Structure 1
Amino acid sequence: MSTKHYFPSTAANTLVPRALRALVRANPHLELDYTDRVVSNAYHDNSLVSIIGGGGSGHEPAWGGFVGDGLLSAAVCGDIFASPSTKQVMKAIRLTPSSQGVILFITNYTGDRLHFGLAMEKAKAEGLVSNIAILAATDDVSIPKSKSSRLGRRGLPGHILTMKILGAASKQHYSFEKCLEIGQAVNDHTVTIGSSLDHCHVPGRQHQSIPQDVCVIGAGIHNEPGQQLISPVPSVEDLITRCIRLLCDSSDPERGFTTFGDGHSIVLVINNYGGLSQLELGALSDEVFAQLESNWNVLPVKALIGTFETSLNAPGFSITLCNLSNAAKQSKCDVDTLLQLLETSTTAVSWPNTTRPAHHEKRQSSSDLGSTSMETPGEGSIQIDPALLQRMIRQACEHIIAAEPKLTEWDMVMGDGDCGEAVKGLCESVLPLLDHEACQTGSVLDFLRQLSGCIDDMGGTLGAIFGILISAFQASLADVAKTWDSSADNASLYATALDQAVTSLLKHTSARQGDRTVMDVLIPFNARFIESGDFASAVELAKEKACETRYMEAKVGRATYVGQFHQVPDPGAWALFEILAGLAEVLSSSS
């Protein structure tokens, strides 16, 4: 890491004002109060909640680069690694007045808390604002709970997610109270860990190096000593494993600041501390993606990789995870709302205005052609009465829709309350198909293809289980039908195909009978059906097994995080029973 600089040490104090002056010259929508080093939005709207951020300089592009519509109203910039003064903060409050109120957004450091806190009290005493509050970012996980209970955790680069969502909420005319509630919730479920190979070099100050064979885990953004010094420098794989464990291991009594469950919507930020090449940062990011998926089953719904908050030229990086599902629940809004706020465009020059691409029809490739066609040549034809197929599917869907309230109630006790709505949504997407093409031919395979398309949109763990099962059942049924004697019992045909599908499913999940999941119904139902060929008898057993889940302790999935024992059935297991019961009712009435 180089300690050479273009500016001599005697000019170190001029760096901050000159950099700010260049920032506003290059971006006419920004204004600079040169004396107090406040960058503000020239088009600030007084009818919106004012979001003022700030802290020491040396973290560029934070904070000045994040001023603009939909993000910060103003940024207060102290000296390098030094909190801005109370006078500076007061200037920012005066430059960006608001009829709704002012939120002072800071990272949790003592100097910032004191100076912004004093400014808040002065603003109230002078009657400058109707509402004002401090929201301190506290996303660092390196410091254990036992050592941070009084002062709280440090603020690290994960704060950019809270800041962006907060600014977008203000832009969309959210109230002062709602902005504060959402911002606090996002912060509460954001966790960050930093790592560095050396300290940064502050111009004009003596440089103290970290030994060549040492890597820091728990590196802050002000050259603070790290929480863990590892020697020799570990492999990238080992380093990322250690870092992610600190973020994701909810069983760690000293950490576990938020939880990560199946189906949760997670945002990932990988931030350059200033001294890494984009190439190396990209390679590190690839390892993070790989380990999140393989070791923790975390697939981020959005990822930001770049330079957001630096420590001058420190050769290091930070990893941030934000659980939008938990934040949405805490703030009483939905995940899509938070994601939309995060992705709303802004005029802040240092925010990457990247949104998920709009849907456009793609030109069909050769691999797409025929993907939704009717039965393909070589498949056995599996036909049943179209009216019977339609009644069976409709009855199964109506069973689920009627059961949704109790499924939701049970899942709110043991999970996050989305199971009932998810399976109801699936059924509501299937029902319109019945009135059109799905059942008109009586082709079971054709219907299964269309059902798979609906399940693909379901999401969540149960959606994945259903998706694998139906896809495997479709493939097995088509394969078995090729050599099936058309005069043989159809029940045996379906039982054989289902047995093969369940075998395939078990390769993809560790859940087994006794774990309080949907498998507590599926596995015994399948065993009874393949043994007896009696669908009604297998459904009776399915109900019995669904009821038994009320006395089981969860061993996999989100319900394992629930400390107390509640005697309610597993909602996924009961949902499968309701589907089977609906099918059985129609079959019994038609026989």
Structure 2
Amino acid sequence: MQTKHFVTDPKHLVEASLKSLCLVQPDLTLDIENKTIYSPKRKDGVSQVSIISGGGAGHEPSFTGFVGDGLLSAAVSGSVFASPSSRQVLNAIENVDASKGVLVTVMRYTGDVLNFGVALEKARARNPDMKIEMLVVGDDVAVTRSRAGKVGRRGIAGTVLVHKVTGAMAAAGFGLDDTVRVGQLAAKNLVSVGVSLNRVHVPGRPVESDIEKTPGSDDIELGMGIHNETGCGRRNGTDAEAPSIVKEMLQQLLDSNDHDRNYLPQKTPEMVLLVNNLGALSVLELGAIVTEVAEQLQRDYKVKVVRLYAGTFMTSLDGPGFSISLLNVVETGVSKSLIELLDAPSNARGWSSLTTQGESTKRQNGTSAQITKPDNEGETQADQLAYDADLVDSRLRAGLKAVIDSEPEVTKYDDIVGDGDCGTTLKRGAEAILNQIAKTPPTGVIALLSLITSTVEDTMDGTSGALYSIFLNSLLHHVKLAANQASAADTTFWKKALSAALSALSKYTPAQVGDRTMMDALIPFAETLRSTGDLRAASSAAQEGATKTKDMRPALGRTVYIGDEDAWLGKIPDPGAYGLSKFFEGLSST
């Protein structure tokens, strides 16, 4: 595992990489504040369906490298291995041409689905006439049906083929309904699996936890996720050499008798093959693997590969591995065949070398263009609810400080059962709220909640950031409505507000008590507060709920993919539930 980097600040790393895209392709537009790349308008002035995608940084050229003619209209980047916030995505939605409709395409990771979903719902609410749809792609077969449960398949490199097909549909003038339908058809007929020689190290993070999980010197990891998630097994010796490992990977992709992994409706005689470099394989070695895959497909499965794409499409930073994706060649039901859509031209650098250089604009060095931003919500509403400002302030500060102090412990837990960013995400949000309160002290309940909500949206990414944003936006909405009928923000007021926010959150996540998520702390807190009106009792219920997660097998979240439960079951609580319980503990301590 490579632990040395030329750029060690992950924030600077992501922003500098985005700027480079506009340096090499000057017709692109960069909104650096929202980490979003936009394609230029069509030179013929014709409107088309706009396609937006994105996800965590670290998978380049996905997704920002696929912005261009015939592919994406915009791509939104999060921090390394963390989804962008809903606020970033909403900016993108409101800055593309929506006259023919908008397609939002995401890989199936909880944080991406939630954050992009929140933005989509907000966009619909703000503009009821907008036609906008979401397409979620999950193509990874490494995690079996029984193992994936409610979560479903992860999205990996095969997603690029869905982008290409839908991008070509939009460029050819097809409407939103047809574009979505053909995109769904491609996703349904798509399977992928990956393998890696080693884990990767995220710049700026401690290396100890990654080293602990590193495969042995002779081992490779089959089915390893693109965020360092543990795979479905390790192989060594001759089983780890190309002929054997490719054979096993193709079995997982194509064995119709493997009912736990057989995701293809059927295997068509003709297929599209994509062999993807996860970041660090030499061109020489990737070439040998491409040959091995193609020969085994023809010899053992009688598959005719009608299009073969080999190269670097979706990375895991500098992952020393590769993935195989197979796409059935099926009828599209429109005047363009699947192959014609894949063959359609695109100048996006991530798909192929530029055939024509975009005309340079007056922007220099990838500087930001003028981007419209959503208005801040709720800040002008009269805020006359009576409340004990000193008590609320002291409790909030105590809760946030408890979150900050718990970061090392939460990070340690998440290094074992997640991807290691839960603690730093919570700490970043808590510190930012404290800074904003000090900078602009709120003058009422609505102003305080507005400040907290907007700060969380700006500073907390990933799954937890999306869940908190949904919950807080709903809480703020209810408080604004209830403020017209209530005179004081008392316990009864907050009990009703919490119930309304929980109800809204349930529309975006199926998580309940027992699924080993932050809901194991949040729901007991809200229910106990609702039934007793006692903040300390509610906090104790949240702490008890978080502790119980130690003995729970995960039903949702990234832990589902990690496996090796016997190593941590009964010892490690869910990091999100534990971190939230610490906030409630601090909140009730004064």
TM over 0.5: yes
Alpha-carbon offset, residue 46 of structure 1: 7.1
Question: Who is 2:282 aligned against?
Answer: 277
Alpha-carbon offset, residue 228 of structure 1: 1.2
Map 1:348-367 → 2, pairs under 5 A: 348-352=348-352
Contact 1:201/1:314 (CA < 8 Å) preserved in 2?
no
Map 1:421-570 → 2, pairs under 5 A: none
Question: Who is 2:141 aligned against?
Answer: 141
Contact 2:348/2:354 (CA < 8 Å) preserved in 1?
no
CA RMSD of aligned residues (A): 1.8
**Larger displacement relative to structure 2 (108-117 or 128-137):** 128-137
Compared with structure 1, are the counterparts of its residues 70 and 227 closer, same or farther at alpha carbon in structure 2 (3 Å cutoff)?
Answer: same
Which letter maps to 1:23?
A: L
Contact 1:99/1:129 (CA < 8 Å) preserved in 2?
no
The higher relative CO (CA closer than 8 Å, separation ≥ 6) is in 2
Map 1:131-530 → 2, pairs under 5 A: 131-207=131-207, 208=210, 209-232=214-237, 234-259=240-265, 261=267, 264-325=269-330, 328=331, 331-333=332-334, 337-352=337-352
Compared with structure 1, are the counterparts of its residues 245 and 129 closer, same or farther at alpha carbon in structure 2 (3 Å cutoff)?
Answer: farther
Compared with structure 1, are the counterparts of its residues 33 and 216 closer, same or farther at alpha carbon in structure 2 (3 Å cutoff)?
Answer: same
Residue 201 of structure 2 aligns to a residue whose secondary structure is coil
Alpha-carbon distance in 2 for matches of 1:82, 1:128: 30
Residue 187 of structure 1 aligns to a residue whose secondary structure is helix
Contact 2:267/2:328 (CA < 8 Å) preserved in 1?
no
Alpha-carbon distance in 2 for matches of 1:82, 1:261: 34
Residue 301 of structure 1 aligns to a residue whose secondary structure is strand
Question: Who is 1:6 aligned against?
Answer: 6
Alpha-carbon offset, residue 210 of structure 1: 2.1
Question: Who is 1:65 aligned against?
Answer: 65
Alpha-carbon offset, residue 130 of structure 1: 2.0
Which letter maps to 1:94?
A: E
Contact 1:101/1:132 (CA < 8 Å) preserved in 2?
yes
Compared with structure 1, are the counterparts of its residues 246 and 93 closer, same or farther at alpha carbon in structure 2 (3 Å cutoff)?
Answer: same
Alpha-carbon distance in 1 for matches of 2:267, 2:63: 33
Contact 1:343/1:354 (CA < 8 Å) preserved in 2?
no
Alpha-carbon offset, residue 22 of structure 1: 1.2
Contact 2:107/2:159 (CA < 8 Å) preserved in 1?
yes
Contact 1:156/1:192 (CA < 8 Å) preserved in 2?
yes
Alpha-carbon distance in 1 for matches of 2:131, 2:190: 26
Alpha-carbon offset, residue 216 of structure 1: 0.9
Alpha-carbon distance in 2 for matches of 1:130, 1:121: 11
Which letter maps to 1:266?
A: M
Compared with structure 1, are the counterparts of its residues 139 and 34 closer, same or farther at alpha carbon in structure 2 (3 Å cutoff)?
Answer: same
Alpha-carbon distance in 1 for matches of 2:88, 2:354: 32
Question: Who is 1:403 aligned against?
Answer: none
Alpha-carbon offset, residue 261 of structure 1: 4.5
Which letter maps to 1:27?
A: Q
CA deviations on 1:391-441 (whole Å, 9 max, x unpaired) are: xxxxxxxxxxxxxxxxxxxxxxxxxxxxxxxxxxxxxxxxxxxxxxxxxxx
Please, which runs of 5 or more residues in structure 1 have no aligned partner?
A: 356-591
Question: Who is 1:111 aligned against?
Answer: 111
Alpha-carbon distance in 1 for matches of 2:170, 2:190: 20
Alpha-carbon offset, residue 259 of structure 1: 5.0
CA deviations on 1:259-299 (whole Å, 9 max, x unpaired) are: 5546x321000000001001000101111011101111112
Alpha-carbon distance in 2 for matches of 1:46, 1:118: 29
Alpha-carbon distance in 2 for matches of 1:92, 1:337: 30
Which letter maps to 1:205?
A: R
Please, which runs of 5 or more residues in structure 2 have no aligned partner?
A: 356-590
Question: Who is 2:527 aligned against?
Answer: none
Which of 1 and 2 has greater Rg? 1
Match status 1:36 vs 2:34: yes
Contact 1:107/1:159 (CA < 8 Å) preserved in 2?
yes
Contact 1:270/1:285 (CA < 8 Å) preserved in 2?
yes
Contact 1:46/1:99 (CA < 8 Å) preserved in 2?
no
Compared with structure 1, are the counterparts of its residues 46 and 90 closer, same or farther at alpha carbon in structure 2 (3 Å cutoff)?
Answer: farther
Alpha-carbon offset, residue 4 of structure 1: 1.5
CA deviations on 1:53-105 (whole Å, 9 max, x unpaired) are: 10000000111110011100000000000000011001111121311211111
CA deviations on 1:334-380 (whole Å, 9 max, x unpaired) are: 7x61111111011212212699xxxxxxxxxxxxxxxxxxxxxxxxx
* Residues matched between the structures, number: 347
Among all aligned residue pairs of Structure 1 and Structure 2, give the percentage whose two residues are the same amino acid.
39
Q: TM-score, normalised on structure 2? A: 0.57
Alpha-carbon distance in 1 for matches of 2:186, 2:205: 36
Compared with structure 1, are the counterparts of its residues 27 and 227 closer, same or farther at alpha carbon in structure 2 (3 Å cutoff)?
Answer: same
Which letter maps to 1:70?
A: G
Residue 337 of structure 2 aligns to a residue whose secondary structure is helix
Which letter maps to 1:253?
A: H
Question: Who is 1:491 aligned against?
Answer: none
CA deviations on 1:93-149 (whole Å, 9 max, x unpaired) are: 112131121111111000001100000110000007521111111100111112224
Alpha-carbon distance in 2 for matches of 1:349, 1:32: 15
Alpha-carbon distance in 2 for matches of 1:97, 1:115: 21
